[in-house]
Structure 1
Amino acid sequence: MYLTRLRRRTSRSQRQLAADLCALSGVQSVTRNEISRWERGERLPGVWLPFLASALKTPLADLEQAAAYARGDALAPLPGPAATLAELLPPDDPLAPLTARSGRRIGMTTVDSLAGRVHGLRLADDVLSGGDLAGPAVRELRAAVKIHRESSYDDDTGRALLVQIGELAQICGWILSDAGRHADAEHAYGIGISAARQAGDTTLVGNVAGSLAYQHANNGREREGVDLARAALEEAGPDAPPKTRALFLDRVAWTLTKVDEAQPAMRALEEAHAALSDANDRAAPTWSYWVSREELEIMDARVFTELKRPLRAVPLLTDVLGRYEATHARELALYRSWLSIAYADANEPEAAAEEARAVIELSGDLASDRTAERTRVILRRLQAYEDVPEARAVLDDHGHLLLV
């Protein structure tokens, strides 16, 4: 989010900014938790805007405009967290073309430009969090849908445009889910499934539907997640590129794990590895660039952890995390959270506490609902070891995060 970027530009932590605001105002009432809520869009700074402007050396007018976006102010030119995706896109079927097209005619140059922006958004998601990217992602999706509805184009261009809208809707949904905006994410995924089906791209349908299945499985709709993950794999079909089949099978494994179906989940993991080893020359789509043996091993370890098999999870996670890209802070925090749980399950509370501290340090400045929830998960797990000094110290220092 905007406030997060301003704070990072001044090299301050959330705790340091809170202390500066207290000093500037003379009132000791701003905490690191309050800064975190402002950055996630859960609250607005209100009377603190002038002090923020001073502390961050930013024009007050810019902060006031950002606050207007976040309120969903009707006069604000750009949408913010208070606006839902459903409100920003046309009603009914957003991909239905207008009866009379009055816009300009477009060709593949326009589609290629959109494809570049879509992939740029994917790469940004590797190093930024949902709260930072939700606004730009929604604006891109809204603009792409507008082009589809209001422009004219030949059949080939129209299909290519639908493919890019499908890909954009998938990464937009993923970003919104990371920002904790699950209803908006589901709406975006619905647009993506519709676009991919209209384009006849069954592999893309599988990716979008599988992403929604993953969200369902992690947010109390586990059985729906299983059904949708299986449907995504089936729709993609046996001829989907090996990388994508591996990804879809991994999602099936995860959703089965969430309903405690251990043996089917383990079989799906084995099939995912077999798919990735399939030595054929079918080109994988650009959006699957991140699928690798390393990522499959991380999913293996996550499944082992959820199934209470720490002796299998710990070596895998330790090995993979030792080679993982340091700039991917959110993923490092997420994966180390599973390592912390695995250590706790292995009755190694000191190691679990050490990993918990690393997770909290990595995720402290991330505007990610996923890392915030995983932090709460590991803190709750450490409560079983309150009599261990290392675990007690983590709970004393960070137990307040359970209330956020």
Structure 2
Amino acid sequence: MIGFRPGTEVTLMADPFALLLLQLRKKAGRSQEQQADAVNAVSGRVTVTRREISRYEHSETIPTNHTLGHIAVACGVPYEELLREAKAARTRRAQARRRVEQDEEDMKRRTVLEGAVVGVCTAAAEPWGRLAAALQRGTKVDKPSASALIDRAADLHIQELGLSARLLQHKVESHLDAITAVLPRAGEHERALTIAAGETAALAGWVAWDLGEHPKANAYYKVASECASSAGHPPLRALALTYASYGGNAPQRKLGLLRQAAQDVRGRGNAAAAAWIHGRYAEEAALLDNATDALQALDRARFAYDFADHTSEQAWVRFMTPYRMDSLTLSVYSQLRRSELAVTANDAIARLGNGLPDGGVVVLGDLAVALLRGGNVDQGLDVTRKFATAAHAKPNTMGKERARAIASLLPVGERDLAHHLRQLAA
């Protein structure tokens, strides 16, 4: 039966068929160009190019049934099984397309979205500009409409766990426009909608940063902080500051942002957020080789997490699972070359089991680095392969950073894997 090698399955939005084609080519020991030549040799004419092979392996397109027959012969696998996998892939693509269309249709049906396309202020061309202008106004909107917008903002933070930045960006920016359209008439719901707008703006900034649009990200973070000030809601500012800390270009500046963020989440109901922020501070301090500060911050993060419930606090900390706490700990111990690294990595593997949590790209990346750096090469390679599959399914900036680090730690005999990781990091 055609399938993935044991241990390579993930529960992200991977296209199993694209990954299968990649594995079949790798198993044959061919480059993409050589694979195209092999398929053309079977067909007897030049019908497939290296670019087409790349598109198949990156889920951009699915081969026709005719081409599948040539690929099956070229790779020495049964055509019927390859055809079955391709049909399943086409079904998944159609279902995904219908979900996107339904989501867009639902947004159109909400009467609260009237005027969202035009925006509140035609002089402010970008979503963050329209939101900043809308913060100056206010009248009334009904409770169901306000609740729908607030719930949607929370749901987008949850969707971020599974969707790539490119797929998420339009949804987030459209929703920011929708909230902006109603803020001038928010009435008694103004504070709650302002907080939801700020949470959406912060997520829009994170998505923009993930796509390399750094000025845009900073503009969103700034207006998210303005929403926090307007609503008198410090945890929202903490969200914007912590997101901004990933893109800061000066280490001390990053630490300053995180210190302020930690102040903003003091108090009940913010334990998961506090754990994330202190963990981030520990990461940045470790990068500066400040072991004392890093370990103290990590202790604060782990203490806060003992009181956390990431499923019932703010939607934007839903990613802060026990796996992500393991990831932060491994990142710090690995950077500082701490003796606790091996035991922590083993505990993380035991917790992970055979599954992959939300946000799994970062978790697997930190675990792979920890195992390889700690000398556990066999397990490190196994986790690295799982990471490569996950990173291919959901490409993002943090995944690229982990791919680059892992590639530098791989043994000499794993040149192909290292090359693949460097391609992911490019």
Q: Determine if contact 2:365/2:384 at 8 Å carries over to the other structure.
A: yes
CA distance in 1, matches of 2:179, 2:324: 31
CA distance in 2, matches of 1:393, 1:90: 43
Aligned letter for 1:130? A
CA deviation after TM superposition for structure 1 residue 137, in Å: 1.4
> Is 2:305 the partner of 1:305?
no
Q: Aligned ranges for residues 177-326 of structure 1 at < 5 Å?
A: 177-216=209-248, 220-237=249-266, 241-277=270-306, 284-291=313-320, 293-309=322-338, 311-324=339-352
Question: Could you tell me which of 345, 360, 363 is aligned with 1:332?
Answer: 360
Q: Aligned ranges for residues 2-151 of structure 1 at < 5 Å?
A: 11-13=17-19, 26-30=47-51, 88-89=126-127, 91=129, 94-97=131-134, 105-148=140-183, 151=184
Q: What SS class does the counterpart of residue 133 from structure 2 fall into? A: coil
Q: What SS class does the counterpart of residue 18 from structure 2 fall into? A: coil
Aligned letter for 1:119? A
Question: Could you tell me which of 381, 405, 417 is aligned with 1:394?
Answer: 417
CA distance in 2, matches of 1:111, 1:358: 42
CA distance in 1, matches of 2:422, 2:326: 33
CA deviation after TM superposition for structure 1 residue 259, in Å: 2.4
Aligned letter for 1:153? A
Report percent identity of matched pairs.
18
CA distance in 1, matches of 2:303, 2:14: 43
CA deviation after TM superposition for structure 1 residue 140, in Å: 1.4
Q: Which residue of 2 aligns with 1:152?
A: 185
- Structure 1-normalised TM-score? 0.70
Q: Determine if contact 2:202/2:240 at 8 Å carries over to the other structure.
A: yes
Distance 1:369 1:252, change over 3 A: closer
Q: Determine if contact 1:214/1:229 at 8 Å carries over to the other structure.
A: no
Corresponding pairs, count: 344
- Structure 2-normalised TM-score? 0.67
Distance 1:106 1:279, change over 3 A: closer
Aligned letter for 1:346? G
CA deviation after TM superposition for structure 1 residue 107, in Å: 2.8
Could you list the runs of 5+ residues in structure 1 that have no partner in the other structure? Answer: 1-6, 40-44, 46-50, 63-77, 80-85
> Is 2:381 the partner of 1:344?
no
CA deviation after TM superposition for structure 1 residue 290, in Å: 4.4
Q: Determine if contact 1:308/1:342 at 8 Å carries over to the other structure.
A: no
Aligned letter for 1:129? S
Larger radius of gyration: 2
CA deviation after TM superposition for structure 1 residue 334, in Å: 2.1
**TM-superposition CA deviations, 1:320-371 (whole Å, max 9, x none):** 3443497756733322222222233223444433332221122222232322
**TM-superposition CA deviations, 1:261-293 (whole Å, max 9, x none):** 22101101111222344599xx84443344455
CA deviation after TM superposition for structure 1 residue 199, in Å: 0.2
CA distance in 2, matches of 1:25, 1:13: 24
Aligned letter for 1:318? N
Aligned letter for 2:216? D
Q: Which residue of 1 aligns with 2:29?
A: none
Distance 1:142 1:56, change over 3 A: same
Q: Which residue of 2 aligns with 1:65?
A: none
Q: Determine if contact 1:214/1:225 at 8 Å carries over to the other structure.
A: yes
**TM-superposition CA deviations, 1:111-134 (whole Å, max 9, x none):** 210121112212212222222212
> Is 2:397 the partner of 1:359?
no
Q: Determine if contact 1:253/1:264 at 8 Å carries over to the other structure.
A: yes
CA deviation after TM superposition for structure 1 residue 185, in Å: 2.5
CA deviation after TM superposition for structure 1 residue 12, in Å: 3.5
Q: Which residue of 2 aligns with 1:82?
A: none
CA deviation after TM superposition for structure 1 residue 184, in Å: 2.6
CA deviation after TM superposition for structure 1 residue 171, in Å: 2.5
Q: Which residue of 2 aligns with 1:68?
A: none
CA deviation after TM superposition for structure 1 residue 177, in Å: 3.0
CA deviation after TM superposition for structure 1 residue 399, in Å: 6.1
CA deviation after TM superposition for structure 1 residue 198, in Å: 0.6
Aligned letter for 2:369? I
